Chains A and B, each alone.
Chain A
């Protein structure tokens, strides 16, 4: 496989020596850079991890020898243990998710005409820095549903199930109206047919009053019916509570209920633009009028994705957004290499699509899947930028992973190079199995 020795340059001289000199010349720049910038530093960091914070940094560290103290603190300091736990979550969750989502996308796009466009879209985040990705997702995760897109989406779905009330902050204007926003408000006084109910509410911010609202009106009593008004019992300067006054607006579209003497709801009505409502065909007495609690249901407040509980899953989600495209493209290439005949034969034999996927596609893709998985495994260990750019200051330490703490302990103000080195070595030890795997794979190929 190599050029034979007899193919030595014809220029004469001892061919082997000359070739070695040529090799040396070609390799020298790489050898110097790799030795100075990777090999020597690796040795230095390993040794440095056994020295204390104030050791002398020379060609090799000297002075304050610390034994394995740095490693002890690595596994006993709270924030570092948190970082190790977080890294463990990352390792367990992220590579598997990225690989399986990539697999699903690759299989689904296989027979779609616009697969090229789809792949380009999903692949695009790969070009963006993980740091900018962090900024992007920080915006997506803003807690206020008015600003954070994800919470806006969750809120939209939630309001479908349980729509928020139009007057979530309202309170009764007089003690005649009893209850609370959680239970709804009921007018204490019983009303008979032909009577009028005045339901005054306050503590309603002007923005909550619909623009269609008109000056509140006390409706005229009507025989055989109960009428009433729901209004914003407040005007600039105060006004008299419980009395409908000029400049006080009716509250439109409020759901009011009529309860009979046993407390059962017998009718419901909705208020007009001037706040008035009418229950027709009412006879007798002992009725009570109330406003349903749904009117006061608080709107969706937003999930705190970046709070201490959800921060790591949130960041992992953003990470999947970046890397799913990588997995999809690599797995897609593997998929294209699978023989069509095998798949078609299985289909002809009556295998369902799921069986084909489960029994043929996945096993045949196993080598590609493992390459993607291992690549993601190494990548996940070194994850850094996306964590420090998504997590807000308050949850930085909840979100931190090993690589982040390596930087924080060494350069982020603490300046403990001993501990920082120990963290780096720990990281290095974690990738050694992959290192050996790579080497073995290459030795097999040669």
Chain B
């Protein structure tokens, strides 16, 4: 598992004269702290575990038992809910749609933002700083400001209820942060490398493709993870801009009205919707943390 520590481990200089007894005393003094943190960690894990175990309970067992009973009575667990969700509902389709939106909604803003970020970092043009300040201002515009007009726009442009429409919306609202992050990263690339490439007569496009993109890969990776999780987990945009071409969040949302009566669909579907983001998160934790630290305010 990639480390989550962004910091370098502090070097604690141990007193060589320290006796074993002193070490023991210190270890014991820390026991309450360990216990407390272990308790917190359990507390933090429990809700997710609860959803997973609930998803393994048959609807009749759910009305009789709390999910924790599955731990003491493992025979209660069944995969049948998952089988039903997979074979009897639209969830597989909406998972596919979710993936398409998330992949498109990640790739497009990164390409567009990398181009713009390069111009902001390394091409001089009049009004550059002002334009960049404007992008920073857009960083905090709530997407609620765009829902109504874009909804009308999409109706006119036949983008309503399309995957492309959702991708474009996520692209637009991902762009300010992406440009901000990439520009700040690109500006840290050593100037000499670019200068010598320019003197050698390389075109700007060539410099961008052959130098900036490879060097900017760590920042692009962080950004990709952020944007991917953001688009995968979106509910609001899809709720407004789509009716039938809906991602999994909207699909589950439409089931929420009868919470309890169709928990056997909601719980497994919710857990299915979490698998991909959790996988991405654990696989690329390091980049995720880096991105978090690089772009503080969104």
Max chain B Cβ within 10 angstroms of own Cβ: one of A26, A44, A110, A125: A26
**Chain A residues, Cβ within 8 Å of B140:** 378, 431, 434-435, 438
- In the complex, are the beta carbons of B147 and A128 less than 8 A apart? no
Surface stretch bound by B, among A169-177, A198-206, A419-427: A419-427
CA distance A395 to B263 in the complex (A): 19
Cβ distance B71 to chain A, nearest Cβ, rounded Å: 12
- In the complex, are the beta carbons of A149 and B175 less than 8 A apart? no
B123 partner, pick from A22, A44, A124, A372, beta carbons under 8 A: A22
CA distance A427 to B232 in the complex (A): 24
**Chain B residues, Cβ within 8 Å of A125:** 44, 47-48
B144 partner, pick from A130, A149, A424, A439, beta carbons under 8 A: A424
Max chain B Cβ within 10 angstroms of own Cβ: one of A9, A125, A126, A139: A139
CA distance A118 to B48 in the complex (A): 15
B50 partner, pick from A2, A123, A140, beta carbons under 8 A: A140
Q: Mark A49-72, 1 if CB is under 8 A from B, else 0.
A: 000000001000000000000000
Cβ distance B134 to chain A, nearest Cβ, rounded Å: 9
Cβ distance B27 to chain A, nearest Cβ, rounded Å: 11
- In the complex, are the beta carbons of B7 and A384 less than 8 A apart? no
- In the complex, are the beta carbons of B298 and A378 less than 8 A apart? yes
Verify if A42 is at the interface (C-beta below 8 Å from B): yes
CA distance A329 to B6 in the complex (A): 8
Of residues 4 to 37 in B, which have CB atoms within 8 Å of A's CB atoms?
4-8, 10-11, 30, 33-34, 36-37
- In the complex, are the beta carbons of A333 and B146 less than 8 A apart? no
**Chain B residues, Cβ within 8 Å of A10:** 199, 201
- In the complex, are the beta carbons of A128 and B112 less than 8 A apart? no
CA distance A64 to B87 in the complex (A): 50
CA distance A431 to B140 in the complex (A): 7
**Chain A residues, Cβ within 8 Å of B124:** 2-3, 5, 19, 23
- In the complex, are the beta carbons of B137 and A127 less than 8 A apart? no
CA distance A300 to B83 in the complex (A): 36
Cβ distance A375 to chain B, nearest Cβ, rounded Å: 5
**Chain A residues, Cβ within 8 Å of B40:** 105, 118, 122
- In the complex, are the beta carbons of B173 and A431 less than 8 A apart? no
Verify if B126 is at the interface (C-beta below 8 Å from A): yes
Verify if B266 is at the interface (C-beta below 8 Å from A): yes
CA distance A38 to B70 in the complex (A): 49
Verify if B122 is at the interface (C-beta below 8 Å from A): yes
Q: Mark A109-132, 1 if CB is under 8 A from B, else 0.
A: 110100111111111111111111
- In the complex, are the beta carbons of B142 and A381 less than 8 A apart? yes
CA distance A137 to B47 in the complex (A): 7
Verify if A152 is at the interface (C-beta below 8 Å from B): yes
Cβ distance A83 to chain B, nearest Cβ, rounded Å: 13
- In the complex, are the beta carbons of B239 and A411 less than 8 A apart? yes
- In the complex, are the beta carbons of A26 and B5 less than 8 A apart? no
- Closest A residue by C-beta to B272: A132
Q: Mark A320-348, 1 if CB is under 8 A from B, else 0.
A: 01000010011011011100100000000
Contact of A330 with B148 at beta-carbon distance under 8 Å, contacts A30-B115, A129-B232 already known: no
- In the complex, are the beta carbons of B116 and A29 less than 8 A apart? yes
**Chain B residues, Cβ within 8 Å of A128:** 48, 233, 274, 277-278
- In the complex, are the beta carbons of A118 and B37 less than 8 A apart? yes
- In the complex, are the beta carbons of A139 and B51 less than 8 A apart? yes
Max chain B Cβ within 10 angstroms of own Cβ: one of A7, A33, A132, A326: A132
**Chain B residues, Cβ within 8 Å of A356:** none
Verify if A357 is at the interface (C-beta below 8 Å from B): no
**Chain A residues, Cβ within 8 Å of B116:** 26-27, 29-31
Q: Mark A145-187, 1 if CB is under 8 A from B, else 0.
A: 0111100100000000000000000000000000000000000
- In the complex, are the beta carbons of A33 and B168 less than 8 A apart? yes
Contact of A44 with B194 at beta-carbon distance under 8 Å, contacts A30-B115, A120-B285, A374-B297 already known: no
**Chain A residues, Cβ within 8 Å of B246:** none
**Chain A residues, Cβ within 8 Å of B66:** 146-149, 152
Verify if A410 is at the interface (C-beta below 8 Å from B): yes
Cβ distance A412 to chain B, nearest Cβ, rounded Å: 9
Which secondary structure dominates where chain B touches chain A? Answer: helix
- In the complex, are the beta carbons of A40 and B37 less than 8 A apart? no
- In the complex, are the beta carbons of A434 and B129 less than 8 A apart? no
**Chain A residues, Cβ within 8 Å of B298:** 375, 378
Verify if A276 is at the interface (C-beta below 8 Å from B): no
Q: Mark B37-51, 1 if CB is under 8 A from A, else 0.
A: 100110011111011
Of residues 397 to 430 in A, which have CB atoms within 8 Å of B's CB atoms?
403, 406-407, 410-411, 417, 420-421, 423-425, 427-428
- In the complex, are the beta carbons of A38 and B138 less than 8 A apart? yes
- In the complex, are the beta carbons of B142 and A428 less than 8 A apart? yes
Verify if B189 is at the interface (C-beta below 8 Å from A): no
**Chain B residues, Cβ within 8 Å of A41:** 145-146, 148-150, 153
A132 partner, pick from B122, B208, B273, beta carbons under 8 A: B273
Q: For the complex, count residues of A whose C-beta is within 8 A of B.
A: 108
Q: Mark B224-239, 1 if CB is under 8 A from A, else 0.
A: 0000010011111001
CA distance A44 to B148 in the complex (A): 9
Cβ distance A95 to chain B, nearest Cβ, rounded Å: 13
CA distance A393 to B168 in the complex (A): 32
CA distance A42 to B173 in the complex (A): 12
**Chain B residues, Cβ within 8 Å of A428:** 141-142, 144-145
A11 partner, pick from B45, B144, B151, B201, beta carbons under 8 A: B201
Verify if B101 is at the interface (C-beta below 8 Å from A): no
Verify if B81 is at the interface (C-beta below 8 Å from A): no
- In the complex, are the beta carbons of A384 and B65 less than 8 A apart? no
- Closest B residue by C-beta to A420: B148
Verify if B179 is at the interface (C-beta below 8 Å from A): yes
Verify if B267 is at the interface (C-beta below 8 Å from A): yes
A129 partner, pick from B30, B113, B273, beta carbons under 8 A: B273
- In the complex, are the beta carbons of A37 and B150 less than 8 A apart? yes
Verify if A354 is at the interface (C-beta below 8 Å from B): no
- In the complex, are the beta carbons of A382 and B142 less than 8 A apart? yes
Surface stretch bound by A, among B88-96, B215-223, B248-256: B248-256
**Chain A residues, Cβ within 8 Å of B239:** 407, 411
- In the complex, are the beta carbons of B133 and A439 less than 8 A apart? yes
- In the complex, are the beta carbons of A34 and B138 less than 8 A apart? yes
Verify if B210 is at the interface (C-beta below 8 Å from A): no
- Closest B residue by C-beta to A430: B142
Of residues 62 to 117 in B, which have CB atoms within 8 Å of A's CB atoms?
62-68, 111-113, 115-116
B125 partner, pick from A23, A37, A326, A378, beta carbons under 8 A: A23
Cβ distance A54 to chain B, nearest Cβ, rounded Å: 14
* Interchain residue pairs with CB less than 8 A apart (17): A11-B201, A29-B115, A30-B112, A112-B30, A112-B34, A131-B253, A132-B274, A147-B63, A149-B50, A333-B7, A389-B235, A392-B259, A407-B236, A407-B239, A411-B151, A424-B148, A439-B136
